[in-house]
Structure 1
Amino acid sequence: MSLIELIAGVEAREATLTVFDPRADTADTLAGHFADRNVRVVDGSADEGPEGYAVLSRDGEFVTAVAVEDLLPGYDGGTTDGDSEPDISGDPGPSRVGEPVLDHLDETMFTSYSRADMVAASREIEDRAWRVGTGELHAGFQTLEVLTGEANTYDRLGEKDDLDVHAYATAEGDSPDADHYTVHIGRTAEIRETWFVAYDGGGYDDAKCALLAEERAPGEFYGFWSYDPETVDTIIEYLRERYQSSEATDGDDGATA
């Protein structure tokens, strides 16, 4: 499965949060909070039974159910005429809204990330690898020109004795001096079109994380975050098999498309 296919596979695994609530706008409010998650929020209706709850499902199968008041801190549970927002007192912050279902969403989808957004997201994973200090870090920069701009950061990461750092790029621009990490030049379209950073956790499943995105328009990236150990392992195993079987200095595995 290629990197592009991995993105498509996560996209296809979209979950559904069905909201059973007397408030006409609760589903819209939750949809706004879950906009960067791989979940679709819809209104539900039941002929009888309780109201004010939501059901998370994937591929038609039940995952979990939770009260709306637990999803929206400060929600008062009353009905409205459909013109006002649910009463959310104070500023709970994005980490609190929707918290009961977040653990069931292994991947976080995003759209239209800019290059600045991608750099900021990449820093989170690089920082985790730096703090743990062991294992493998794999990062794709699209081109050698982009990699050169990050050369100092990756040389510093590679100075960690127990952290094995690998960078991937197409042969556009000059290769930087890489004293403490390995550069793989992949002559494939997916290396040119994707941006990724994946850390294997250094032996700790809880530390595994990955960012994988496709540039679908100039400077705009679509992809996902993942803290799911199986997903992270899949990305890293693919990179090893596809791009590390050849000489690290040129990375030419014979593919040109």
Structure 2
Amino acid sequence: MGLASFLGAIDTASRSLSVVNRSAPDPVQRMLETTFADQPVDVDELSDDARGDDVVVLTEQTAEGHEVVATSPLEEVMNSVLLVNSDLYKTGQAKLDEFELPSVLTRLDDVPFSLRGYPESDKEKLLLVAISRYIERHAWRAGNGRLRSSFQRLSRIEDERGTRAVYKKVASTDVQTHIYGIPDWSPPTNSNLVTHGGYTDDFYDSWFVVYTPPEDESVEAEPGDRTAASDERLDDVEPDQPVALLALETEPKRWEGYWTFRPSLVSDIDRYISRNM
């Protein structure tokens, strides 16, 4: 049981990323393909006179055929994942109030990922790092509700300058900010962070970032009700949209997980954490 019981809670979506009318160098295409290698997301490229150059299109296979879920400039994908490393987030260079993720990445929700960390891969795990920051920013922008985040070791808050700055900023709002991990560090007495320490597998192996809005503001619509996101709307969810990332380290430096906007699933994950950690 435990958090591992939620790994099978999604119905796998069939999604594809297409780079349209690429003029960027070949290595950019190879980096995108490598980032999603061995994942249930196909990556290809095509020409389309109806679109401009260097556009990434996310589509989903449905009973009616391929439907466009989101489009984003290739440059946005390059600058958020392909051409950066995790130090951008750890050191605070990716500032919370300036951070954006292209919709073709955020809308890969309900897709199960199996990712490797460094040194086996220097890009795969970065996708989860970026989504984590996206959810943290979503909570900060909402300004209320509740954020629950796990770090395996609580001392990561202290060790990573960028992470420390993000959580100080989120906790300075009306967002109830809960952090979870092995209790090897305590925040200052004047901190608004609420710490939860433990030594079970859920503490040792989990990576979650879960945002829930105030109960009277939570949206009811499932992600399928959202319209396709364009490159003009990088944050294509409402401020009161629940969202959760959940991943577990099933082997050293290997992570299985997903992120979801489904209110009922986010609520179930949040409730489990509240009652068991």
Asked if the contact 1:38–1:107 (Cα under 8 Å) also holds between the matched residues in 2, the reply is no
Amino acid at match of 2:141: R
In the alignment, is residue 91 of structure 1 matched against residue 54 of structure 2? yes
Amino acid at match of 2:181: A
In the alignment, is residue 217 of structure 1 matched against residue 251 of structure 2? yes
In the alignment, is residue 187 of structure 1 matched against residue 230 of structure 2? no
With over 3 angstroms needed to count, the CA separation of the structure-2 counterparts of 1:220 and 1:155, relative to structure 1, is same
Cα drift, residue 234 of structure 1: 0.9
| Counterpart position of 1:120 | 130
Stretches of structure 1 that go unaligned for 5 or more consecutive residues are 18-31, 42-71, 77-87, 244-257
Where 2:112 maps in the other structure, the secondary structure is strand
Asked if the contact 1:36–1:109 (Cα under 8 Å) also holds between the matched residues in 2, the reply is no
Distance 1:101 1:211 in 2: 23
In the alignment, is residue 235 of structure 1 matched against residue 247 of structure 2? no
In the alignment, is residue 140 of structure 1 matched against residue 144 of structure 2? no
Amino acid at match of 1:14: T
| Identity score, percent | 28
Please report the RMSD computed on the Cα atoms of aligned residues, expressed in angstroms.
3.5
Stretches of structure 2 that go unaligned for 5 or more consecutive residues are 16-32, 61-66, 71-106, 118-124, 220-237
Q: 1:156 aligns with which of 169, 172, 176?
A: 169
Distance 1:15 1:221 in 2: 19
In the alignment, is residue 110 of structure 1 matched against residue 113 of structure 2? yes
Asked if the contact 1:211–1:226 (Cα under 8 Å) also holds between the matched residues in 2, the reply is yes
Asked if the contact 1:107–1:225 (Cα under 8 Å) also holds between the matched residues in 2, the reply is yes
Which structure is larger by alpha-carbon Rg, 1 or 2?
A: 1
| Counterpart position of 2:177 | 165
Q: After superposition, where does 1:59-98 map in structure 2 within 5 Å?
A: 74=47, 90-93=53-56, 96-98=57-59
Amino acid at match of 2:200: T
Distance 2:196 2:203 in 1: 10
Distance 1:242 1:109 in 2: 24
With over 3 angstroms needed to count, the CA separation of the structure-2 counterparts of 1:90 and 1:123, relative to structure 1, is same
Amino acid at match of 2:177: V
Where 1:174 maps in the other structure, the secondary structure is coil
